A and B are shown apart, each in its own frame.
Chain A
Amino acid sequence: MQTKIVSKNFEIPQSHTMDVALKNGRYASLDRLFTNKPQEVIDVISKSGLRGKGGGGAGAAGKWQLASDHDGIKYVVVNADESEPGTFKDRQILAHDPHLLIEGIIAACYAIGSNTSYIYIRGEYEEFSDILQSAIDEAYEKNILGINAQYLVDITIHRGAGAYICGEKSALLESLEGNRGHPRLKPHTPQPEFYFGEPTLVTNVETIASVPFIIENGADAYRAYGTDLSPGTLLFALSGNITNPGVYEAEFGVSMLEYIETMGGGVKNGKKLKAVIPGGASTPILPASMLKDARLDYESLKSLGSALGTGGMIVLDEDVSMVKALKNLLRFYHHESCGQCTPCREGTSWVDKTLDKFIAKTATQEDLEILKSVSGTMNGKTICVFAPAVSGVINGFLKHFENEFLECIV
C-alpha cells in the first residue's frame, strides 16, 4: 500500500548529507530541468496535475503561472510552518531529505524567474532547521546554489516563533517582512502573493519536494499514481489512538480504513474505531460509520462533508469523549487566533469557555444554542479561513455526536 516517491530516501542512513543524497539520485533532475524553457517547466507541472500539499489542494501550477506572468523581482517562499495538529509530514522531508527540497526550489525558481528563496520554518523545528541549514551550506559548496551555480538561487532559512497563523500564506509573508503574522485581505481576481510588493510564489514543502520526480520522469509518470482528479501521492500520517503512528506515503485514492489497518496496524489496544479527523485538526470529524467507502483523496472526503486537508489523520477510539476532544481543539484555536478579526478573536474565546460548562456537566440548552450561534457568526466573516475552519470543526462534532453534548446538559 505504501508508494514511495517523496519518501524514497527517508530510510537510507545519512540521507540528509550531500554525498548520500547524490548517490541516491538527488539533483539528477537538474540536467533535465535546464534543457527546458521556464514556461515548459510550468507546463509539465500543470500537466502532472500536482496539487498543493499544504492542506488546500489547489492546482500547484496556477500559482506558478501567476508569479511567472507578473513583472518584478520574484521570490519563492517555502512554507515549512507545519503547525496543523496531527500534521508532521514536512519535518520528515526536512530531516531526511533536505536536498530533495533544495532541488525542488531550484526548479520553482527557474520556472518563475526568481533568484531568491526563503524557507519559513516554524520556530519549534530548530533541530530540523539546523539539518536543513547544513544541507544548504553543502549545496553552496558544491555550487548547486549561489553565484557560481548553473542558475543563481539563494536560499535563506527564516525561523518563525510560535504562531500557528503564520502557516496561512499571507500571514507568513507579513511575518517574513518583519510584522505581526496577520493575514491579508484576499484579492477578488487571481493574483500572485506579494513580498514587499514583488510577485511571490508561496508553496508547501511537500509540494516542492514532489517537483523533481515530475521534472525527471514527466507528467504522465506522476499521473500514473493516484486518481484522475487527485494525481500522485501524499505523505499521509497517522496519530492518536493508533498502533503504529507515523508518516507513510501512499497514492491518493486508497481506502482510509485499509490504510489505517495496513500502515497503522489498526486502532491501539484492539479497541473499536469511533471516528477519524481526516486531515489535520481543522477538517471536520467523521464517525466510523461513514468511513466504509472513504478514500484518501480530495473528492471522496469532500463528498463526506469533510476535507483531505494535510492528510494527517487523528484516530479516535471508542473510549474517547467527544466533548473532551472538542474542548481540546477549541482551546487550541482560542490560543492561536491572531486576534485581528473580532468574530474570530471573540468567537474562539467564547466557544472555548462554553465548552467548559459541557465538561463540568453544567451546560444548559441555551449553551448549546450559543455554541451553534457563535459557530455561525465565525463562518465567512473574517479575513482568513481560520474562523470558518473552527466553525466547521464545531459543526462536525455537533452533527455526528450531538447526543454526547446533550448528555452534558442539566
Chain B
Amino acid sequence: MRAAPLPNDRPDTGPVLDIRDLVVEFPTRRGVLTAIRGVSVTVERGEILGIVGESGAGKSLTGAAVIGLLEPPGRIAGGEIRIRGRRIDNLPKRDMMALRGSTIGAIFQDPLTSLNPLLTVGDQLIETIRCHLPLSRAEAAMRAIDLLNEVGIPSAELRLQQYPHQFSGGMRQRVVIALALAGEPDLVVADEPTTALDVSIQAQITALLKRICRDRGTAVMLVTHDMGVIAETADRVAVMYAGRIVEIGPVDDIIRRPQHPYTRGLIGSIPSLVTSHERLVQIDGAMPRLNSMPAGCAFHPRCVLADTRCRSTLPPLLTNGSGLAACWNLAAGNAVEAA
C-alpha cells in the first residue's frame, strides 16, 4: 500500500530523504484547502527522483515542504519528513535554518532571478560557504573557485569578481547549482531547474546534475513538468496528480509501460519524432480545483476508463510490475494499451 519502503534503522544505509503520508494545507477564510493529500516517497543516496505532474499537482509544494520554505499560510498538517533518519518537519525555525544549505540544498526555476543582482557571484558564494563551514574568507574564496570549476564555469577566479548580469542564463544556473552545493548537502531539491533555459542549455544542465549526483553521491529530488527532462535525468519517477502520487517506479518502465491512465496521457502528449501526428494527444479537461475535489479517484472526471468504483472509492497505490500505481483499472488499462 505504501510507495516507500520502511526506513532503515541505520541512517547511513537508509534513504537520504524519506517522506511519509505528507499532508500540506492552506487555511483560508473559506476553509482549509488541502494541496498535498498523503504523499510518500524516498530518495536514496546518489539517486535522482523525478517528480512530474501538471501545474497545481503539488510537486513544487512537496519540494518546498522538504526545504521548510512553504509560503505562509501553507503548513504541514500531517505525515513525516526524514533526512538520514532524522525527522525534520517539526523542527524549530532555527534548527531548520541550520539544515538548509548544509543538509538540503535547493535549486530554483529561474536562474535569472535566483541571484542577487547587487552582489558579485564571489560574494554570494563566499557568504554561503562561510555560513556552513568554519573557513576564513580566503579559504572560502578558494573553495568557491573549486565549486565554479566543478560546475563547469571557465576562468573561475575572474568570474568571482563579476555580477550575475555578466553571466548568460546557462552560466547563471551553473552558479545557482554551485551555490546549492556550497554547504555540501546530502539532498538537493531542484524545482524546475531547466524550465527557464533553452533546449541546448537544458541538456548541459541535466548532464551536470547527473554528474554531481554520481560524483558526490548527492540525492536529488527533481521537480519538473517536463517528461523529456525526467526521461534523460531521473532514475525513478513519481507522477503526481491533484496532491497525490498516482504512479511511481523506475523511469524506463514508466516511460515504456505507463500503468496509470494519467501517466499514459502525459506520455502520449509528448510529440514523437518518429511518428507524425496531425494533432498532439491531449488529456481533456483540467485538474480539479482544491476546493472541489471529486469523490473517489481525483482523475475520474477526465478518465476514459472511469467506472462506478472510481467515482466512489479512492484507489490505493498498488504494486504493478516494477512500480506502484493508484488505479482500479490497471488490468483493463493494460488491456486497452495492448489492443
Bind each other: no
Contacts from B to A (Cβ < 8 Å)? none
